[in-house]
Amino acid sequence: MQRAIGYTDFNQPRSLIEERPARPPIIGRIRPGIKVLTKKARENEQAVKIHDAGLARGDSFEAIGEEIERKTKLRNALVPKNTAWFTCRSSDFTNPATAEEILQKYGEDRGDGLKLWRFPVIFAFDDWLANMPNQLKVWGTRGLQYFSEYGPDGKRYCKMYAAPEVDQRAQRAKRLFGGRTIILRQDDAIADGVCDPHQCPQYQERKCNLSANFLFCVPEIKGLGLIELPTNSIYVLQKAYAAMQTVALARGGRLAGLQFWLSKKAVEITRIGDDGLPMRQEQMLTMLDAEIDMGALLDGADQMAPALEAASHAVALLEGTNSAMSATAAPPASPLADVSAMPLAPEPAPIVAPVSHAGPMSSEIDPDDRESVLADLAARLDMAKGQDRMDLLAFARIEYGQGWTKRPKDLDRMIGEMQIALANPMAFREQVRARVREATASV
């Protein structure tokens, strides 16, 4: 039977906007430090006045630097300076009141005014890289010059924007559609396009640096979008990555919805000096932490054994395998087992029972037919593999209780609900994720 094509089948782009990679909206920026005048700028009385007036008005450091350059011709008059607190300024937010709200709610006065020393954050994605995107970048006078991206082969490549073609008739650059064309960098320094910092002249001249951002929302702070916090420290990224991986392991791969904390801590790091010798240096690093009881999570493994046994049987149903095989399959040792170790679902099985009706199936249907129908529905809903499959299993157990796979009535109810969901698979997947996220929020 040919699958019906409806207006809910939106697996391909439907508009010009959807052709481009989706990016979360950013409503503001919290900075890990401040910017101060250089020694040369401090000697210029006019630059000092512009700087002090801009700080008093709450202007951004970029705006202050541009005004100094415009009026005094001093370029790069401001340089970054690390601090023990975070900078939360109204000029860095689309809604200036958001910065004041964050300071009033989470700021502390430790004798030198209200400052943001430590505050909670909630990540929006389960993928750590989506919460903490990072690249090597080179900025020039006209914007981004070079940037790193990983290819399908796992290598890191140095890329750049191609120069626009010139229309010979109009004697002007051709208009670009869909954004600027990205190409591999291929010149005398990087001939094959592979990013090699040891051979890169920009990296050796300190023009190419790590550029990363934490993307999060702050609890009880309203706004349609995320807040970013930039960092260029590999030590910060390594420690944050370790924290995220530890929490994801304890929560079955989940990062979204759990409250973390960001703070600053003085840490001694080792760096190589200009003479080639290692030297110790103290830096204030951004630290990511979470107030969770890891012992309680790990100790709860035994209590989850019955649920895992039911889930193992349900996996066999969704994969369309034989019941006897699923009974002998050993369940994971603990709820912290990597779900990727489980076998992937095979190609969708053919429909062996009519599934066009929306109501529950009759209990007279042969159990083998139920397994085939369940496997086919999961494939048609695009929930037969990976995390979506695990979410579907968890959703079924939450809705119908432990051992639902052994009760024909509950199996029929699950099949009936999945049949109804065929009208809008995307909405059903979001419903399943939301229900599982709500049930596991307290973990």
Sequential pLDDT tens for the chain (443 residues)? 445 444 455 567 778 777 777 788 999 999 998 889 998 888 898 999 999 998 888 788 888 989 998 899 888 889 888 889 999 998 899 999 999 999 999 999 988 889 999 999 999 999 999 999 999 999 988 889 999 999 989 899 999 999 888 887 877 888 888 778 899 998 888 888 999 999 899 999 999 999 999 999 999 999 889 999 999 999 999 999 999 988 888 777 889 888 999 999 988 877 777 777 888 888 889 999 887 766 665 554 444 444 444 444 544 555 444 443 443 333 333 333 333 333 333 333 333 333 333 344 444 445 557 777 888 888 888 888 778 888 888 888 888 887 787 888 888 888 888 988 898 888 888 888 888 877 766 44
What's the CA gap between 248 and 242, in Å, rounded? 10
Same domain assignment for residues 313 and 415: yes
The answer to the question of residue 433 being in a domain is yes
Domain boundary among 292, 325, 353: 292
Token pair of 5 as six digits: 């094509």
Same domain assignment for residues 280 and 340: no
- The DSSP secondary-structure symbol of 174 reads P
The answer to the question of residue 178 being in a domain is yes
Token pair of 433 as six digits: 């994720």
Same domain assignment for residues 428 and 314: yes
Beta-bridge mates of residue 74: none
SS3 414: helix
The answer to the question of residue 117 being in a domain is no
Instruction: Name the nearest CA neighbour of 300 among 325, 334, 273, 274.
Output: 334
Same domain assignment for residues 207 and 303: no
Q: How many CA atoms lie within 13 A of 439 on its CB side?
A: 15
Phi, psi values for residue 402, rounded to 5°? -65, 140
The answer to the question of residue 121 being in a domain is no
What pLDDT score does 360 carry? 42
Same domain assignment for residues 149 and 80: no
Same domain assignment for residues 368 and 271: no
Same domain assignment for residues 413 and 271: no
The answer to the question of residue 380 being in a domain is yes
Token pair of 366 as six digits: 């042969």
Token pair of 273 as six digits: 């000096």
Total number of residues shown for the chain: 443
Same domain assignment for residues 176 and 215: yes
The answer to the question of residue 165 being in a domain is yes
The answer to the question of residue 12 being in a domain is no
Instruction: Name the nearest CA neighbour of 104 among 88, 83, 93.
Output: 88
What total number of domains does the chain contain? 3
Same domain assignment for residues 146 and 286: yes
Contact 288, 153 (CB under 8 A): no
Same domain assignment for residues 274 and 136: yes
Token pair of 116 as six digits: 């943001």
What pLDDT score does 134 carry? 94
Q: Which residue has the tokens 């054994």?
A: 305
Contact 202, 138 (CB under 8 A): yes
Residue-wise over 240-254: b if at least 16 C-beta within 10 A, else e?
beebbeebbebbbbb
Strands 226-231 and 26-29: parallel
The answer to the question of residue 113 being in a domain is no
Beta-bridge mates of residue 114: 109
Residue-wise over 348-374: b if at least 16 C-beta within 10 A, else e?
ebebeeebeeeebbeeeeeeeebbbbb
Same domain assignment for residues 132 and 281: yes
What's the CA gap between 262 and 116, in Å, rounded? 10
Domain boundary among 246, 267, 292: 292
What pLDDT score does 209 carry? 93
Domain boundary among 292, 315, 339: 292
Same domain assignment for residues 246 and 361: no
Domain that holds residue 328: 298-440
The reported pTM is 0.63
